[in-house]
Structure 1
Amino acid sequence: MGTKVMIVDDNEFIRESVDILFKFEGIQAVAADGGEECLRHLENGFRGIILMDVMMPGMDGWDTIREIVKRGVYDGNIIVMLTAKGEPDCKMEGIQEYVTDYVTKPFDPMKLIERVNSLALFRKGMKLAQ
């Protein structure tokens, strides 16, 4: 089984665009339109790289990460913020250890693929070391 990525974003265009990009590269992608759907995927066993938007209605990205940790479904995942916000805000305080990377929109599609592939190798190395 190859790289698995979850795209968590309330913008359907972003979810579909990134999904198409990853499928073209042979990367398995799952989409979630917000924090609650992300949590359902994780509770159903998703493990991989999570591309998390910050600004979403209801549960934002930071609150979603807090809930991921609280529910005990963080292990086996790598979280990358994929957001239009230029810099993390004060809500990241206390959960920064769970965020591996921060990518701003608009993003270069090929650089996103490179980052995901690098993180997938890192994640594979982590699993082998356990």
Structure 2
Amino acid sequence: MLLPQKIYYVLHVFHLRMQKKIMIVDDDPDILITIRELFESEGFEVFTVPCGEDCIQELENGFKGVILMDIMMPHMDGWTTIRKIVIKGLNKGNIFFMISDKDECALKSDDLKQYIKNFINKPFDTRQLLQTVKEYFIKPK
């Protein structure tokens, strides 16, 4: 029996909230380290990858959780990565946030923005980043 889309989403979000898994996709090693340490200190299981190709590989290996995706990366930018993820059907069971400079976030691809839960501008406040992402993991009362 197929679940209606809304029920599927509610169950999916509840499942994610129990797992606390996050993947950071950024070509800047300093960003990867900073965000990794931030979320590990809060009990998250953290995956870091330096490019879109590696993100897709992790998704093909079964990763489910929140993905923080940089927009500007060499070889394949964040928008191209999201497009490939959607085409392959790997977006299901994941929540996407885009991270980049304010001007780059303004240039969001209209056909892909439906898959993005939030845009986070660089430079970001680590406490605010943590709070924004943690909202998707808070257990229902």
In our comparison, the structure showing a higher alpha carbon Rg is 2
Provide the C-alpha distance between the structure 1 equivalents of 2:66 and 2:76, rounded to a whole number of angstroms. Answer: 19
Which residue identity lines up with residue 4 of structure 1 in the other structure? K
Provide the C-alpha distance between the structure 1 equivalents of 2:45 and 2:101, rounded to a whole number of angstroms. Answer: 24
Provide the C-alpha distance between the structure 2 equivalents of 1:2 and 1:97, rounded to a whole number of angstroms. Answer: 24
Matched pairs, number: 122
| Aligned position for 2:107 | 89
Deviation digits for residues 80-127 of structure 1 (CA, Å, limit 9, x no counterpart): 01112433315x121110011000011111111111110224xx77xx
Work out whether 1:107 is the aligned partner of 2:124.
yes
Deviation digits for residues 17-48 of structure 1 (CA, Å, limit 9, x no counterpart): 10011111111110010100000000000000
Work out whether 1:63 is the aligned partner of 2:63.
no
Q: Is the 8 A contact 2:19 2:65 kept in 1?
A: no
TM-score, normalised on structure 1?
Answer: 0.88
TM-score, normalised on structure 2?
Answer: 0.81
| Aligned position for 1:33 | 50
Gaps of 5+ in 2: 1-17
| Aligned position for 2:65 | 48
Gaps of 5+ in 1: 126-130
Which residue identity lines up with residue 111 of structure 1 in the other structure? Q
Deviation digits for residues 31-67 of structure 1 (CA, Å, limit 9, x no counterpart): 0101000000000000000000000001100000000
Work out whether 1:74 is the aligned partner of 2:91.
yes
Match of 2:35 among 18, 21, 29: 18
RMSD (Å), alpha carbons: 1.5
